Amino acid sequence: MRDDGLWDQVRGNWNQLKGKFREKWGLLTDDDLEHIAGHKDRLIGKIQEKYGEAKWNAGSIENEVRSMQQQSPDRTKPMGR
């Protein structure tokens, strides 16, 4: 799956995925999640701000998001499929 496709799916499933993000990264507030709204750069920046860049680099965050998206029962299918 292309990187863009992953984040398109995350944005499409944002309401379902917010709970998983809250479980994984409990320091994220409801306001943080509303601001992030499924956007990669916002998510990575906010997690690094709350937890520190050394603990969560962009690659590890993206791997976690990919895993969450794959486990989501209501995954949005890519367009045209």
Structure tokens at 33: 């999640």
Please tell me which residue, 54 or 64, carries the higher pLDDT value. 64
Among the listed residues 69, 46, 66, the one whose alpha carbon sits nearest the alpha carbon of residue 56: 46
Would you state the CATH architecture of domain 3-71?
Answer: Orthogonal Bundle (1.10)
The pLDDT assigned to 73 comes to 66
Please give the model's pTM, rounded to 2 decimal places.
0.77
The pLDDT assigned to 54 comes to 79
Domain ranges in the chain are 3-71
- pLDDT value at 40 more than 90: yes
In whole numbers, what is the pLDDT of the chain averaged over residues?
Answer: 85
**CA 34, 39, 44, 45 torsion-angle sign:** negative
pLDDT in tens, 42-58: 999 999 999 988 788 88
